[in-house]
């Protein structure tokens, strides 16, 4: 395959669009970590469930796929509340390994429930703009990818406003700094945990809907994005939202370039090699603080 300027531009655009989906997932994961000091390895499975839900809603009711994402977002946020209350809350503050075990149990449950309900065949959400693309000289970009970027920017902006400007956001920031002091200040920490998890799940759900429109997906699709989101967070520094955005864009572009130059199999291996190198040199991430 010869590599021309348009191919590289197209690769970069793809990288940005995919990076945006990862950023959304990473932001949710990051938020949950920042506030609850908990890593939910089953976060990508929420993305997978949301993709299936969006697919089902848009097929069953003929709703516009982008509207269906909103419905699925609400459902997944409620699911997140349930998951937090029934499982993570009970192991919070015990051995850190327990959180990994609970996540693993959730992964098994979500993946196999999805497999039972929707079957093993890959699916793709049909968006109202499928097949249409913006033609620029040399390259053409599908509308869906452009919309994905716009949706992500909008979602992140809304998220930023929520964190920085509202009372709940203030309570979340206080809890993330020190939950015991937050409790003394009259903040209902358990309620904040619940809201945090719901917001994280909702962000994952939006990412899932966009993912399902851009790519085809099956019940196993959640694993890789979780790991990528985790890699992004680690590279960008745990708890840092800006770091996650920079990391996400860098990762999306790097993955697409690796696929372009080295071939598809190398995409994930290169990503992991990067993650491992970063962690070996800086065990707390690039911008990560010492602590925990």
User: Can you give the binding site for other proteins, defined by CB under 8 A?
Assistant: 39, 41, 87, 90-91, 94-102, 104-109, 111-113, 115-121, 223, 227, 230-231, 234, 265-266, 268-269, 272-273, 275-276, 279-280, 283, 292
| Gap between the Cα atoms of 95 and 83, Å rounded | 19
- Our CB check for other proteins shows the closer of 148 and 275 to be 275
Q: How far is the CB of 76 from other proteins (least distance, A)?
A: 18
| Gap between the Cα atoms of 231 and 238, Å rounded | 10
| Gap between the Cα atoms of 186 and 43, Å rounded | 30
- Our CB check for other proteins shows the closer of 185 and 262 to be 262
- Alpha helices for 92-240 (secondary structure H): 96-118, 143-165, 167-177, 179-184, 189-214, 223-236
- Our CB check for other proteins shows the closer of 4 and 112 to be 112
Would you tell me how many other CB atoms lie within 10 Å of the CB of residue 286? 16
Q: How far is the CB of 269 from other proteins (least distance, A)?
A: 4
Q: How far is the CB of 71 from other proteins (least distance, A)?
A: 22
- Our CB check for other proteins shows the closer of 91 and 149 to be 91
Q: Tell which residue, 171, 160, 203, has the closest CA to residue 69.
A: 203
Q: Tell which residue, 71, 80, 90, has the closest CA to residue 43.
A: 80
- Our CB check for other proteins shows the closer of 78 and 277 to be 277
Q: How far is the CB of 231 from other proteins (least distance, A)?
A: 8
- Our CB check for other proteins shows the closer of 20 and 39 to be 39
Q: Tell which residue, 99, 73, 114, has the closest CA to residue 206.
A: 73
Q: How far is the CB of 219 from other proteins (least distance, A)?
A: 8
Distances in Å between the Cα of 111 and the Cα atoms of 44, 146, 221 are 10, 30, 9
Residue 62 dihedral angles phi and psi, to the nearest 5°: 70, 20
- As to burial, measured by CB atoms within 10 angstroms (0-12 exposed, 13-18 middle, 19+ buried), residue 86 is exposed
């Amino acid at each position: 395959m010869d590599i021309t300027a348009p191919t590289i531009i197209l690769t970069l655009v793809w990288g940005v669009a995919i990076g945006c989906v990862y950023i959304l997932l990473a932001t949710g994961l990051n938020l949950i970590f920042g506030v609850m000091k908990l890593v939910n390895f089953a976060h990508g499975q929420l993305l997978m469930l949301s993709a299936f839900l969006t697919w089902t809603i848009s097929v069953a009711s003929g709703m516009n796929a982008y509207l269906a994402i909103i419905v699925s977002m609400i459902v997944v946020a409620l699911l997140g509340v349930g998951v937090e209350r029934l499982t993570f809350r009970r192991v919070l503050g015990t051995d850190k390994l327990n959180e990994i075990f609970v996540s693993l149990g959730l992964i098994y449950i979500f993946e196999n429930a999805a497999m039972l309900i929707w079957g093993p065949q890959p699916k793709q959400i049909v968006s109202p703009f499928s097949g249409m693309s913006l033609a620029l000289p040399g390259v053409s970009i599908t509308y869906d990818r452009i919309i994905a970027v716009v949706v992500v920017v909008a979602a992140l902006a809304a998220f930023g406003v929520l964190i920085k400007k509202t009372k709940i956001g203030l309570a979340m920031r206080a809890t993330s700094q020190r939950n015991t002091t937050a409790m003394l200040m009259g903040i209902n920490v358990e309620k904040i945990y619940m809201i945090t998890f719901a917001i994280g799940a909702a962000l994952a759900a939006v990412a899932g809907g966009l993912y399902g429109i851009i790519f085809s997906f099956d019940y196993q699709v959640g694993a890789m994005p979780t790991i990528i989101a985790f890699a992004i967070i680690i590279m960008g520094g745990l708890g840092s939202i800006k770091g996650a955005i920079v990391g996400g864009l860098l990762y999306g572009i790097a993955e697409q370039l690796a696929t372009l130059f080295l071939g598809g199999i190398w995409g994930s291996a290169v990503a992991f090699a990067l993650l491992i190198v970063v962690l070996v040199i800086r065990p707390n991430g690039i911008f990560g603080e010492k602590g925990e």
